């Protein structure tokens, strides 16, 4: 899903686990994409399910905590959970975290920065206005 270059940037960008881990590890591509998004005033967000996927309760979590402190984190609502379930049913998917990320993207009209573009593409297939940025 590609957005024409002349189009206005998205208002929101949602990070999945792969994007958060890439940022925490200093991945140059992820950092450049996020720096550009923040420069353009894009509201970058992390769903709480992504924290559950990336945090393990030890000192190795420090880079994830730094990422978390730099952007908004938001909890999933019942409406988002229901939409995620519908997406899983439609795609016969099994990755609940990806479905919750996709549901948030649909709800906000947000683009997604992901390490798992194949699954997110399937979940967001009916929403060509959303762009999936692979990392």
Contact (Cβ atoms closer than 8 angstroms) between residue 102 and residue 84: yes
Cα angle 118, 119, 123 (rounded to 5 degrees) comes to 120
pLDDT digits (tens, 9 = 90+) for 6-16: 567 789 999 99
pLDDT digits (tens, 9 = 90+) for 43-89: 999 999 999 999 999 999 999 999 999 999 989 999 999 999 999 99
Find the distance separating the first CA and the last CA of the chain, reported in whole Å. Answer: 14
Helix 78-91 and helix 96-108, axial crossing angle in degrees, nearest 10 = 120
Q: How many Cβ atoms are within 10 Å of 93's Cβ, its own excluded?
A: 16
d(CA 44, CA 96): 21
Q: What is the pTM of this model?
A: 0.89
In the block, which residue shows the tokens 């593409």? 121
- Please determine, for residue 3, whether its predicted confidence score (pLDDT) is greater than 60: no
Domain 12-134 has CATH 3.40.50.1010: yes
- Please determine, for residue 4, whether its predicted confidence score (pLDDT) is greater than 80: no
* Residues 6 or more apart whose Cβ sits within 8 Å of residue 8: none
């Amino acid at each position: 899903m590609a957005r024409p270059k002349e189009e206005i940037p998205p208002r929101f960008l949602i990070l999945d686990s792969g994007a958060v881990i890439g940022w925490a590890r200093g991945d140059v591509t992820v950092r450049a994409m996020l720096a550009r998004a923040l420069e353009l005033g894009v509201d970058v967000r992390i769903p709480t399910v992504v924290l559950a996927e990336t945090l393990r309760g030890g000192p190795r979590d420090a880079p994830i905590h730094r990422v978390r402190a730099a952007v908004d984190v938001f909890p999933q609502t019942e409406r988002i959970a229901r939409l995620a379930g519908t997406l899983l049913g439609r795609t016969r998917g099994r990755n609940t975290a990806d479905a919750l990320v996709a549901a948030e993207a649909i709800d906000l009209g947000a683009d997604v920065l992901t390490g798992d573009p194949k699954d997110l593409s399937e979940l967001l297939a009916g929403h060509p206005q959303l762009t999936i940025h692979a990392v």
